[in-house]
Amino acid sequence: MLVKRSHCIHSGSCICTNGHLSETVLVLVFKSLNWNPRTLCSVACVCKWFEDIAKRILWKEFCLSRAPKMVSDLLSGGSHGTIDGNWNALGKLMIYCSGCHDGNNICQSNSIAGHFVYRTRFSRTSGKSFLVQQCRTDTLYVTDPCEHLDQGEDGDVGLFRGIFKAFGKSKVRKMLIERQVELHPKESCPYCRTKVWSMVQANMISRSAYRRLGAYEDQIEYFVCLNGHLLGVCTLLPLSDSETASEEE
Ligand SMILES: [Zn+2]
Ligand SMILES: [Zn+2]
């Protein structure tokens, strides 16, 4: 295998003055580390060259290694092996619960800090519950709620996140645009930084979402960003109540 060193040409302050390893070598190193996300984050901060290769290759491999089925499904809706909102955003979505800041409809008295999670399962079946009837043919993957219990006056808060397949062509996006729902003036996507729509404002919270989450009916909010990432927050019913609710279904 031919290993060539390419020099960093990005800035005088870049620390890699002795040139970089080739892409091939870096990819092999990361493969042996099983695409460790922490190492990946530190490497991406070194300089533009590393940042670029992390975005283009390393995060993609990370995503494929952690959720191969979901990622190949998401890819089959995109064009030429690309994904909406970049690989690093999807990587972060997989391993980071973004918390909740006070002032949100649900977290009124408390802020919940973002945190890394070890591994998260994204479910397409669960995602269906978050789509209103007219949009049920869209494909959406959603996690189980990350439970933040005893948040003072806010009660037990559940945070969940998800991603649409081919959001650009989805019925949800079409409906948001047809209804002329405005983008939220303050909130933005913690994963890709684009603006978001509030599904409460759009009146597009589906009834089955409450049941799926075990949440109070009027205590749920989710946002969808321009790249089709979903982030949501709800107040969870006490365990005994939510069990009763699901028995009634
Ligand atoms: Zn969490
Ligand atoms: Zn986003």
Task: Give the confidence band of 249 by pLDDT, cuts at 50, 70, 90.
Answer: very low
Is the pLDDT reported for residue 119 higher than 70? yes
Q: Which run of H or E residues covers position 123? A: strand 122-123
Cα–ligand 1 centroid distance for 99 (angstroms) = 6
Cα–ligand 1 centroid distance for 9 (angstroms) = 40
pLDDT tens digits, one per residue of 201-220: 999 999 999 999 999 988 99
Cα–ligand 2 centroid distance for 87 (angstroms) = 11
Q: What angle do CA 13, 45, 159 make, to 5 degrees?
A: 150
Cα–ligand 2 centroid distance for 194 (angstroms) = 6
Cα–ligand 2 centroid distance for 8 (angstroms) = 30
Q: Taking the model in full, what pTM does it have?
A: 0.86
Task: Give the confidence band of 13 by pLDDT, cuts at 50, 70, 90.
Answer: low
Where would I find the H helices in 59-164?
Answer: 59-66, 68-77, 87-95, 124-128
What is the mean pLDDT of the segment spanning 100-117? Answer: 82
Cα–ligand 1 centroid distance for 117 (angstroms) = 7
Pick the residue with more confidence: 44 or 219?
219
**Environment of ion ligand 2 (residues, CB < 5 A):** 189, 191-192, 225, 227, 229
Q: What angle do CA 166, 168, 163 make, to 5 degrees?
A: 50
